[in-house]
Amino acid sequence: MTKRSLEPGTALTPVPAVLVSAGTMTSADITTLAWVGTVCSDPPLISIAVRPSRFLHHFIVEGGAFVVNVADSSHVRQLDYCGMVSGRDVDKWAACGFTREQGSVTSVPLVTECPLSIECVVEQTLHLGSHDLFIGRVVAVHAEDHVLCGQHVDAAGLDPVCYVTGQYRRMGDLLGRVGFSREADSQG
């Protein structure tokens, strides 16, 4: 099979589409980000890439914290809206009917309507060009019971939204669990 060469770009897809909040219970912003990911397990670190021109950016810089709120597919319209308008012009919390819930470790509000919220404290900021990369230490995780399988988040119960080159999609079928490829080796 022959592969075509493309211009360098952000071809990694799909990626999670999440709502990131920053600020305080009285003054906060929320926006949609898709350039989000786990960067370390010990200590648990999450990175988010934010343009300095975004209203959310100054809340993160000033407060030194953010929350990654994972919306389920029933909130895809609000997820899209929060990425299309600026918090400078619109109270996105009110416009989307979102409820602010006090975090347990940071002053940043969680989005009550999101079944999973991850509180992070900024450990490092990298200025990369069009975006600043905030690396946050996970200091608390809040999950509704229906998205859990024991102590772990179950993607099927969570029903997260994925961003795929200008489209929002649901996750697909289970193809296997970590280590399943080794099970055949041990049985043979």
According to CATH, the topology of domain 15-187 is Pnp Oxidase; Chain A (2.30.110)
Q: Does the pLDDT value for residue 33 go beyond 70?
A: yes
User: What is the average pLDDT across 29-33?
Assistant: 98
Mean pLDDT across the chain: 95
Tens of pLDDT along 156-180? 899 999 999 999 999 888 888 889 9
Mean pLDDT of 5-34: 95
Residue type, 15: V
CB 21 within 8 A of CB 108: yes
Which sequence spans correspond to the domains of the chain? 15-187
In angstroms, rounded to a whole number, what is the distance separating the alpha carbons of residues 137 and 44?
A: 6
What is the structure's pLDDT at 174? 82
Alpha carbon distance 45, 147 (integer Å): 21
List the structure tokens of 24: 């305080």
Q: What is the pLDDT of residue 121?
A: 98
- 132-141, pLDDT tens digit by residue? 999 999 999 9
Is 80 exceeded by the pLDDT of residue 36?
yes
| Whether the Cβ atoms of residue 132 and residue 67 lie closer than 8 Å to each other | no
Amino acid (1-letter code) at residue 47 = S
